[in-house]
Structure 1
């Protein structure tokens, strides 16, 4: 069935509570990203799924089998779980072939056809990750990106039920990270394995995951699709952590109408299509920089009057800081929308 359930799981280390009653469902073939700042509990949750730690309370189920609670813990090698670490964790004295073939010899529940013909299976996996013909090399003869591909091939060679990835790209340079994202997405499509991917990089989570779990202080702050997390944040923390956000002050007329105050003029109603109920009691509207449009200002112009404070060229976009009353808003526009420092602009919210 290839699914996993975390039910009411808490984890204590002495007096420190690392996880507070976590509930999580990972469906068949689902790509789930655990996203949050350092110390939020995401790696602890991954270690519990892997079997390296036992929960202080609650239960963990894999394929409708109880694998851990506070009284018992099934060891990692019996869970049919693959893991990819940030540090690659390759054996330096073993060749690429032996590193990748290792789980076929030592994991339980390895399909018989892979045991009978390990060379064919290893060759198939190395081709999938773009390392065909490198079986006889040692880790010291590989680049960082190649080492991570070997680690990935080793994690999937025995067809795991669940693939766990702990910040696997954080030690790679920016260009290689983007390339490896594509590799991981390709492997996910090819194998259909459920993936739990730990990261603190929100762009990585938004780009790759089917579902994002935003964690804070050992709790789940919000769970949803990348679109929901980005455009329908359920707390100021999520709005700020996942992409930039302006918290525009005003008042809510109702759940779909925000009244934007304009100095010396009547309030400007802004129609809101997303569910932003948690922000109504704060009397603010979270607005992404790309949800703001800028136009040349002239008297009688509809919209809010602002002044350009800063401009940053970013290749395909321009980042502006716009002074609106006592607030400063971040705005991103395409390269065709050009204003200079000190220009007066009309600001339009499109949410």
Structure 2
């Protein structure tokens, strides 16, 4: 299975929500759509589900056109599972009845699966750890259990594509971590392709095979989590995903001279767009602090610490130089508020990025 999104634009009246989106989702791939509120990520998910039709472009599944301007295949005719942010459970149905519903009513369910509804329901409930709660109703469940019911219902009909719209945003931090693992387990067990919409960078980096970073209805960058985090191609991606400081200065070939500093930093790994804008993206963990007047200290940016936050294994510092910079420094290196320091760059070795996985091979049984 593969999905081709080609030149898709979506307008609501005069407002352009998506601008010329072209993307291929491979069989068995976990694709995260990451971006801030209003960037168009949920609209893209609704187009894949069949709730909306594109203003321009088309969506093709396995060579079959699913959506085009003026026409879209209805959601009930697509073998697609969907998990909503609000769980969307029916208060009068038990857990077992929720999971059985798509098996009995979805048009795309195979005849073989319809003949073994009870067996399939039992399999899915066992997979999500809810077999012992099969007869309970939604009001008798915790938030995490409700989300597992929503997941079980979505995968029961063995969809080729599973769509998730911010499914963990209403859960507390501990439950979100548990559900990340649950979703990864379901992905590897079922082999379904997943398109996962989120504004949470941590979720996307932790779970996805590839990430699409969106901003203002456009795709800013597409790549593996390692590519997106280590090698952002635009200022937006550097700030939104990597939390990078964008340091002004001058480029001398592949070396960067920060403004107001007598040093040069290795910039061979930095995208050309940053060289054009005379900026250097440096993540908080790529910068280090040194005492201002320490003998033998390497040259760097002179700064003053204006904020300190203890985070267990590290301190988060904000220092004031030409602008404010954020740094994550190991807890062994302690500096105080108001202290004068020198900011330097940790030279990276190689910046090696793991190869993209072959999803079609990886998830074959």
Query: Does the alignment pair 1:221 with 2:220?
Result: yes
Which residue is 1:140 aligned to? Answer: 139
Which residue is 2:337 aligned to? Answer: 341
Q: CA deviation at 1:12?
A: 1.3
Q: CA deviation at 1:251?
A: 0.7
Instruction: Return the alpha-carbon distance in structure 2 between the equivalents of residues 220 and 173 of structure 1.
Output: 29
Instruction: Return the alpha-carbon distance in structure 2 between the equivalents of residues 247 and 159 of structure 1.
Output: 45
Q: CA deviation at 1:171?
A: 0.7
Question: Structure 2: which 5+ residue stretches go unaligned?
Answer: 349-365
Contact 2:30 2:196 (8 Å CA) reproduced: yes
Instruction: Return the alpha-carbon distance in structure 2 between the equivalents of residues 233 and 306 of structure 1.
Output: 26
Contact 1:262 1:268 (8 Å CA) reproduced: no
The CA deviation string for residues 315-343 of structure 1, in whole angstroms up to 9 with x for no partner, is: 2221011233x232110012212112233
Instruction: Return the alpha-carbon distance in structure 2 between the equivalents of residues 76 and 275 of structure 1.
Output: 43
Which residue is 2:311 aligned to? Answer: 314
Which residue is 2:355 aligned to? Answer: none
Contact 1:85 1:168 (8 Å CA) reproduced: yes
The CA deviation string for residues 43-87 of structure 1, in whole angstroms up to 9 with x for no partner, is: 111001000111111110111111111132111122110000001
Contact 2:270 2:281 (8 Å CA) reproduced: no
Contact 2:270 2:280 (8 Å CA) reproduced: no
Count the aligned residue pairs: 345
Instruction: Return the alpha-carbon distance in structure 2 between the equivalents of residues 134 and 96 of structure 1.
Output: 7
Structure 2 counterpart SS, 1:91 = coil
Contact 1:311 1:319 (8 Å CA) reproduced: yes
Instruction: Return the alpha-carbon distance in structure 1 between the equivalents of residues 119 and 288 of structure 2.
Output: 56
TM-score by length of 1: 0.94
Contact 1:213 1:224 (8 Å CA) reproduced: yes
Structure 1 counterpart SS, 2:264 = strand
Query: Does the alignment pair 1:69 with 2:68?
Result: yes
Contact 2:230 2:242 (8 Å CA) reproduced: no
Which residue is 2:280 aligned to? Answer: 285
1:45-124 equivalences under 5 Å are 45-124=44-123
1:1-351 equivalences under 5 Å are 2-254=1-253, 256-262=254-260, 267-297=262-292, 298-304=294-300, 305-324=302-321, 326-350=322-346, 351=348
Structure 2 counterpart SS, 1:82 = strand
Q: CA deviation at 1:99?
A: 0.6
Structure 2 counterpart SS, 1:133 = helix
Q: CA deviation at 1:300?
A: 4.2
TM-score by length of 2: 0.91
Structure 2 counterpart SS, 1:109 = coil
Instruction: Return the alpha-carbon distance in structure 2 between the equivalents of residues 175 and 114 of structure 1.
Output: 35
Query: Please, what is the CA RMSD of the aligned residues?
Result: 1.5
Contact 1:290 1:332 (8 Å CA) reproduced: yes
Q: Which moved more, 1:302-311 or 1:331-340?
A: 302-311
Instruction: Return the alpha-carbon distance in structure 2 between the equivalents of residues 327 and 307 of structure 1.
Output: 11
Instruction: Return the alpha-carbon distance in structure 2 between the equivalents of residues 20 and 329 of structure 1.
Output: 33
Contact 1:261 1:268 (8 Å CA) reproduced: no
Instruction: Return the alpha-carbon distance in structure 2 between the equivalents of residues 168 and 67 of structure 1.
Output: 24
Instruction: Return the alpha-carbon distance in structure 1 between the equivalents of residues 218 and 22 of structure 2.
Output: 9
